[in-house]
Amino acid sequence: MLALYLGMIETPEEKTAFEDLYNKYRGKMFSLAYSILKNYHNAEEAVSQAFFTIARNFSKIRDLSPVKQGAYLKITVKNAAIDIYRKETGENSTPIEEIEDFTAAPDDVSDEVLSEMNYNKIVEAIRSLPEQYGECLYLFHVRELSIKEIAAHLYIEPEAVKKRLQRARQKLRKILEENEITI
């Protein structure tokens, strides 16, 4: 597939830059697409569509900062995945639960530490947070993005991300305490 994309790019310098971008972000883009589509082949298709779009517009994208390039790539693959999801399901919108599935329990959590019942309550508490807070928690703790990456992804300042994370944790702690949920 890479050869097809490189064939769309004119200069050798741009081809090298595109290949570097492809190698650096392909795995992350696939992970994002798979988290939306829950299907290997559809996720591959979304990544392919995204790189096709990127190759067509590479002369504009090449000059962006690495942070903005990364954000552009994530948005492009997310949109491609959502389009595929909509075609597959016939739905006009994608529920947040389908994109950001908090219900998948981490593999490394033992039953003694976190019972399934408590886990489900925690998931519900996270979902009850305002979207901006839940999204920051998800990107930071589940996706393991850095503050800078989250800022680029959300088009906000890193300090705003830190503040949102702080507020999200405070609100989550309060909800958990009110419902007597222990971690």
Structural domain contains residue 45: yes
Tell me which of 59, 89, 119 is where a domain ends.
89
**Number of domains comprising the chain:** 2
State which residues form the domain around 122: 100-178
Same-domain status, 84 and 136: no
Average pLDDT score, the chain:
78
> What does the alpha-carbon distance between residue 85 and residue 141 come to, in Å, rounded to a whole number?
25
pTM of the model: 0.50
Q: Please tell me whether residues 66 and 112 are part of one structural domain.
A: no
Is residue 177 very low, low, confident or very high in pLDDT (cuts 50, 70, 90)? Answer: confident
- Does the pLDDT at position 55 exceed 80? yes
Task: Count Cβ atoms below 10 Å from residue 21 Cβ, excluding itself.
Answer: 21
Q: With contact defined as beta carbons under 8 Å apart, do 80 and 38 qualify?
A: no
| Side chain identity at residue 97, one-letter code | E
Q: Is the pLDDT of residue 24 over 50?
A: yes
Same domain, 171 and 151: yes
d(Cα 49, Cα 35) in Å, to the nearest integer?
A: 16
Beta-carbon contacts of residue 179 (< 8 Å; ≥ 6 apart): 121, 125
Position of tokens 């290997």? 40
Q: Which one of 63, 89, 115 terminates a domain?
A: 89
Residue 121 forms part of a structural domain: yes
More confident residue, 54 or 7: 54
pLDDT value of residue 159: 95
